[in-house]
Structure 1
Amino acid sequence: MYYTAYQNALSKTNSAPAPDNADQLFRNVFNNLQSADLHAAIDESYAKQFYFNDTFKTITDSASLKDYLSKTGRAVTKFEVTLEDVVQSDEDVYVRWTMTMQFKVLGKTIDSHSVGMSHLRFNEAGQIIVHQDFWDGADAFYQHLPVVGFWVRAIRNRL
């Protein structure tokens, strides 16, 4: 289902050349996840309507993204995204990043590190209209959960 939604988003967007500050718009949102500035960063960085998929959830409007990312920020004790590389190809921007996240599961502190890449497209106003993440959420999050984590690790070990 996400494949089709992503392909539809790519075909239906009227993207414009990426702004010079494309990487900063991305960084402003994801390094403010636990900040009072998060909503303002989303308003600056994202159009009112867009396609966003982080492999966990698909979102198409700024109010829902604000709610989702605010909840994510409150659910973790630490969250940081480091941009490792930014590449532009026509109107497409690809951001390779490392994410460090700390959260608690059953009273145990989990430090999670993962790598990923985000595909971004922008509108004429320089705001994000397509944001598709490519990363392994199972490695970063699910493997640390009781019961679910056991099965994720067991399946991986069998492959």
Structure 2
Amino acid sequence: MNVPMPGGSSTDARVRRVAAAYEALDGSAARLDALLALYASDARFRDPFNNVRGHAALRNIFEHMATQVREPRFCITESACEGDAAWLRWDFSFAGGRIDGASRLVFGADGRVLEHLDFWDPARQLYERVPLLGALMRLLRRRLAAPPQR
């Protein structure tokens, strides 16, 4: 098993390349092209809002993100890899907010990403910041949570 290393850097070269490409994203087309080159042409990407395949769809997601948030930045905090499956734990920060999550990657025989699944909680990390919706989400969270132990 390829375990997480200090500073969040896996010893697997494929994982290190993907992590570095995410951390280098700056909104420029060149950096996005470098990231997409690490994905198979028909790679699947899924997050809480999207479920797409292919470079054009991936490009659309990242270009849209760049129009929705200012100063976006990914920081990979942990990574692990076993065989062709890897996990990245990350923080995504932007002007006025931060999201923490994890991604599961599956690599193909050529070392490019075939599947990228993102896991993060939009209810807690986005919706609860919206004034009226946030109050409703916090109320639902309190009602659905297990009662404190006595």
TM interval, short-chain normalised: 0.7 to 0.9
Q: Is residue 123 from structure 1 mapped to residue 116 from structure 2 by the alignment? A: no
Structure of larger gyration radius:
2
Q: For residue 141 of structure 2, what is the aligned residue in structure 1?
A: 156
Q: For residue 13 of structure 2, what is the aligned residue in structure 1?
A: 20
Q: Give, as a single letter, the amino acid of the residue that structure 1 aligns with 2:106.
A: R
Aligned with 2:120 (options 129, 135, 157): 135
CA distance in 2, matches of 1:47, 1:38: 17
Deviations, residues 72-128 of structure 1 (Å, cap 9, x unaligned):
1111012111111111122111111122122xxxxxxxx222321110011122111
Q: For residue 55 of structure 1, what is the aligned residue in structure 2?
A: 48
Structure having the larger proportion of residues in strand? 1
Equivalent position SS for 1:78: coil
Identity of aligned residues (%): 23
Q: For residue 91 of structure 1, what is the aligned residue in structure 2?
A: 84
- CA apart distance, 1:37: 2.1
Q: Unaligned 5+ residue runs, structure 2?
A: 1-11, 145-150
Q: Give, as a single letter, the amino acid of the residue that structure 2 aligns with 1:127.
A: R
Q: Give the ranges of 4+ consecutive aligned residues of structure 1 lying more than 4 Å apart after TM superposition.
A: none
State the aligned residue count.
134
- CA apart distance, 1:38: 4.1
Q: Could you say what the CA RMSD is over the residues aligned between the two structures, in angstroms?
A: 2.1
Q: For residue 101 of structure 1, what is the aligned residue in structure 2?
A: 94
CA distance in 1, matches of 2:93, 2:32: 21
Q: Give, as a single letter, the amino acid of the residue that structure 2 aligns with 1:136.
A: D
CA distance in 2, matches of 1:156, 1:38: 38
Equivalent position SS for 1:37: helix
What TM-score results when the alignment is normalised by the length of structure 2?
0.77
